[in-house]
Amino acid sequence: MIVETRTRSLIKAFSWRILATLTTMTIVYIVFGNLELAGVVGGVEFVAKIVVYFLHERVWNKVRFGKIEVEPFVIWITGLPASGKTEIGDLVAEELRRRGLKVERLDGKNIRKLFPQTGFTRPERVLHNERVAYFASILEKNGVFVVASFVSPYEEMRRFARRICKNFVEVYLKCDVETCMKRDKEGLYERALRGEIKNFTGISDPYEEPENPEITIDVRKTDNETAAREIVKYIERRFLRV
């Protein structure tokens, strides 16, 4: 949460009053043609109104009306490889930062570099996911808003993440394997079909569709920008109340 300091309020008060006083002095001089009178009026106004402005700002800082406390949350984007998780997650994080929230971006490709020894068998995937979910929950407890995007193919993975995170938003990017293969710029699906990549989700390893996600977006019919806006709108309704 960002709180305005007294120093900032005071500087704002001075800068505003300087501009306003010069305006008042100009008007007085134009009307009465008396420079001395303009100076006296401007001086009195400057002192009086800068005090009033400063007090007004400090009082409003203490008034809770119109203020809301936004609790940190974890947005967990799941879906098949090449379904658009990274791109959509980046757009959502960017929009939330624009609104002044402190956001940490967690993505499958980047996090894997932290645990290069972790494999892709089911037990290894589950362990890796638990590490990430725990990391996300720690960030959330420390006031950081998290946007995470992971294949997280098994329901038990996502249940674990939901259980340890206080405000958990599961986003399922619904897409079929054929469409994801067309979007796959890295050729991972083709390599998996040739047997070069083992335990590849959607080919040699299953993807268990989420049972009760907060948001389901059919990315076969929705572009990334629209999908991101849909997620942000949900966040606005549930957490930002706008």
Does 195 lie in the same domain as 117? yes
Alpha helical stretches, state H, 142-223? 155-164, 177-183, 188-193
Does 218 lie in the same domain as 146? yes
User: What local confidence, expressed as pLDDT, does residue 52 receive?
Assistant: 80
Residue 67 lies in a domain: no
Q: What is the pLDDT of residues 181-203, one digit of tens each?
A: 999 999 999 999 999 999 999 99
Which stretch of 95-99, 135-139, 228-232 has the lowest confidence by average pLDDT?
95-99
Residue 16 lies in a domain: yes
Average pLDDT over every residue of 104-110: 91
Does 95 lie in the same domain as 171? yes
Does 93 lie in the same domain as 50? no
Active site residues: 152
Residue 113 neighbours by CB distance under 10 Å: 7
Average pLDDT over every residue of 57-80: 82
93 within 8 A of 105, measured Cβ to Cβ = yes
Residue numbers of the domain that contains 54: 6-62
What contacts 99, CB < 8 A, 6 or more positions away?
240
Does 144 lie in the same domain as 50? no
Does 139 lie in the same domain as 221? yes
Alpha-carbon distance of 232 to 206, in angstroms, equals 29
Does 212 lie in the same domain as 168? yes
> In the chain, how many domains are there?
2
Work out the pLDDT band at 66, boundaries 50, 70, 90. Answer: low
Does 151 lie in the same domain as 209? yes
Q: Show which of 37, 62, 87 is a domain's final residue.
A: 62
Average pLDDT over every residue of 201-222: 96
Residue 52 lies in a domain: yes
With 50 as the cut, is the pLDDT of residue 1 above it? no
Residue 147 lies in a domain: yes
Average pLDDT over every residue of 52-75: 78
Question: Of 126, 128, 142, 153, nearest to 210 (Cα)?
Answer: 153
Query: Chain-wide mean pLDDT for the chain?
Result: 89
User: What local confidence, expressed as pLDDT, does residue 70 receive?
Assistant: 83
Residue 100 lies in a domain: yes
Does 17 lie in the same domain as 124? no
User: What local confidence, expressed as pLDDT, does residue 6 receive?
Assistant: 66
Average pLDDT over every residue of 168-191: 96
Residue 68 lies in a domain: no
Does 106 lie in the same domain as 193? yes
Please give the helix or strand (H or E) that residue 170 lies within, else none.
strand 168-174
Q: What is the pLDDT of residues 15-25, one digit of tens each?
A: 877 888 888 88
With 80 as the cut, is the pLDDT of residue 50 above it? no
Does 178 lie in the same domain as 157? yes
Average pLDDT over every residue of 96-105: 93
- Per cent of the chain over pLDDT 70 is 94
